[in-house]
Structure 1
Amino acid sequence: MRAAWRWRLLPPPPFVCQPGYRRSSSITAYTAVVDGNGCSTIYVTCEGSIGTYSFETARLDSHHRLGWTHSEEWKHVGRWSLPFKGGAQYVPEFNMWFGFSAFSPGHLCAVDLSAMHHDRPPTALQVWKNLLPPEVEWMCIPVRFELLNLGDGKFLIAGTFEAETTGQQFALLTGVEMMPCVGDDRSLQMVKHKCTRYAFTTDAIEWVL
């Protein structure tokens, strides 16, 4: 009989029962780390002084017919925060996690999460300069940033902005490529490629024939 994927309700993180937790508190950073056995651990940082928690999704179990079992275990990793905002994704070509810096909004960063195995805060190895055109950087309000990994060291940075004068929102799509620096095992050079601006409109499709 084949095992099937299914949704299941996870236990709530323990910090929801701690003093000082507000129901409106939101997760500010999250990522996942896969170990050598293929088991994933989810890490989340919640705003305030809650810190960072991990959730082990599964662990090896030689007595189980599948070879693994659900862990259902939350762990308080530390009172520190993950050094990025939103999600960060692992890029195997560089053995790093890439996301947007929590200290420099909209700036792409590379993070080494290996220190978390010893309950130490991770470090941002590199933070790259914002690639926004001057007219966007000085006259528009950033709304949201997303990162898409295209493979082979290539990424698409999708930023949503709002013009201060008109309130109109638009997207800025920027292609970048990461290249190893000569003579350095960890440092990377970011090369900017094409940048395209897409303006959102209020037009809506009401009928399709």
Structure 2
Amino acid sequence: MIPLTRRGRIALGAAGTAGVVACSAAAVVVRGLTGVPGLAIDADWARFVDAHQQPVVVGASRVLAALGGAPLSVGVAVAVAALLWWRRGIRSAVAFVLAAAVDEALVTALKFFDQRPGPSGAVFEDRGSFPSGHTAYAAVIAVVLALTTRRPALRVFALALIPVMALSRTVVDAHWLTDTAAGALCGAGVAAVVVALLAPRRP
């Protein structure tokens, strides 16, 4: 894991905390919405996606849906943790596992609190559509990888996972657009806070 100065740790932790607070505050706002989906941007995006369905995109989205959900998500977590341990040390692996666990707990709590109806045929609709757990999980993986490597190309690839997963969740009618945005904030925020707490100190 890349060492951080005290100022860097504070800045990273503050940014992560802001993301978690923003996601939680948005859940309160969304809970008070009337109608489905309750936001014009969600309805407009859903219509746009439905009007531009492509077999390749739908197929790829279904693959991502399977990888981000149990039981395959457990295998993905093990693979990512093992890769981080091998390439970046046990501290990086622990940071990822801890961030993934905290993220899952937070997302589940917000889903139960919010109970937002999802699009037609949405998965996890019984627990609420807000926020997107798949997008949050992808954000945890992406941010931890980006913060534990010095390679710009790998950072770009890792962070690209977030919008790709977010888009895929709307393509398969699993979530509204704002669900995925909140999931990205939640996962990225949790990951940033955990890395800030566990990163080695640099003078």
TM-score range, shorter chain: under 0.3
Tell me the TM-score normalized by structure 2.
Answer: 0.19
Bigger Rg, which one: 1
Higher relative CO (Cα under 8 Å, sequence separation at least 6) belongs to 2
> Between Structure 1 and Structure 2, which shows a larger proportion of strand residues?
1
> Between Structure 1 and Structure 2, which shows a larger proportion of helix residues?
2
Tell me the TM-score normalized by structure 1.
Answer: 0.19
